[in-house]
Amino acid sequence: MDRLQLERKQVWIYLLALLAGLLLGNAWPQIGPILERLLWPVLILLLYATFLQVPLLHLRVAVVDRRFVGLVLLGNFVLLPLLVWALLQWLPADPAIRLGVLLVLLVPCTDWFITFSQLGGGNVPRAIAVTPLNLLLQLLLLPAYLWLLADAEISVALSIVDMWPALLVIGLPLALAALSERWLDVHPAHAMWRERLAWWPVPLLAVVIVLIAATQVVAVRGALGLLPVLVPVFLAFLLFAALLAKLLARLSQLPTDQARTLAFSLGTRNSFLVLPFALALPAGWETVAVVIVLQSLVELFGMLFYLWWIPRRLFK
């Protein structure tokens, strides 16, 4: 099996991981504290392997094609936040549910959208080039979006005192990935290190899902009743994101391969990045992490549809 085949099958891997975690948590609830301690180092490894695939030190490459980059940024950081605000009106008043939706839908993906762009006939070099800009802007803008869109109860839960572990879990692998990229630029003979680590995100995310499901069994059970509310919201996001890409591509006369890449960028979200914030929240907010995992699963099934719809119907 090559890496592309592994990534094609990731949705089934994650579903099995979710089931395995629930069975583990039900059978041995006493191991919950041990699994919670394992979760943070696994997340650090996951984020490091993911960030290393992003050309963090090559922002200059991202802005070569200003039209394409401008559309990606307009869609991800101006128009989609407006869509998220509109979708928020259809959600129940539960602040944990709203926070989970805000966290996961406001940040564009910087990893598997490249894979889906490749599978869907998109422009992979441009997908790779724009990822560091997407990553940098989402880190800078997410606090502003939450301040604008979240209510007071959510703002209290996101206090800096509670969030410092999440900031460390994100900042440490980000810094290590940047240093590793610099080292690889100086020593290109070791580029195989990056290729080997490119295999890690799928199995590591599966481990993260197992650990979350096993330690949050009660929250997962409680979230089952939310499926009729959350799944339509996540599906609506996928639909409107693709239609938005179609509109932007038509208005700007974007080439077909770039238009497909734009659609995958707008449709995929960065659940890896926001999971640490969800897990750092105080007791009573466990639903936030469950919402993020649920969105990831819905998105992956949505990508299977995207891979048929985008190259064959939306952007032929």
What are the CA-CA distances from residue 294 to residues 161, 166, 193, 242, 291 (Å)? 27, 20, 32, 20, 5
Which residue matches tokens 């070791």? 190
11, 114, 228, 298 from 216: Cα distances, Å: 20, 31, 20, 19
Does the pLDDT of residue 93 top 90, yes or no?
no
Distance CA 200, CA 3 (A): 10
Contact of 228 with 87, CB cutoff 8 Å: no
Q: Which residues contact 262 (CB under 8 A, 6 or more apart)?
A: 68, 71, 72, 75, 245, 248, 249, 254
Q: Band of the pLDDT at 221, cuts 50, 70, 90?
A: confident
- Give whole-number Cα distances, 146 to 14, 84, 103, 208, 258, in Å: 28, 11, 8, 25, 30
Distance CA 257, CA 287 (A): 38
- pLDDT tens, residue by residue, 125-175: 999 989 999 999 999 999 899 888 887 667 666 666 567 778 888 999 999
Average pLDDT of 180-192?
83
Closest CA to 223 of 294, 272, 152: 294
Contact call for residues 220 and 19 (beta carbons, < 8 A): no
What residues contact 313, with CB distance under 8 A and at least 6 apart? none
Does the domain at residues 3-314 carry the CATH identifier 1.20.1530.20?
yes
Paired tokens of 306: 């995207």
Question: Looking at per-residue confidence, does 211 or 217 come out higher?
Answer: 211
pLDDT, tens digit, 9 for 90 and up, residues 239-281: 999 999 999 999 999 999 999 999 999 999 998 889 898 888 8
Phi, psi of 64 (to 5 degrees): -65, -45
| Predicted pLDDT at 71 | 96
Q: Which candidate, 237, 240, 247, 246, places its Cα nearest to that of 269?
A: 237
With CA atoms as reference, report the closest residue to 315 among 264, 240, 269, 277.
264
pLDDT, the chain, mean? 89
pLDDT digits (tens, 9 = 90+) for 26-66: 888 888 888 888 999 999 999 999 998 888 877 777 777 88
* Residue 248: predicted pLDDT: 97
Q: What is the pTM of this model?
A: 0.92
CA end-to-end distance (rounded Å), the chain? 29
Distance of CA 191 to CAs 53, 114, 130, 201, 310, Å?
11, 19, 21, 17, 33
Kindly list the domain boundaries of the chain, sorted by start residue.
3-314
Say which amino acid occupies 88: L
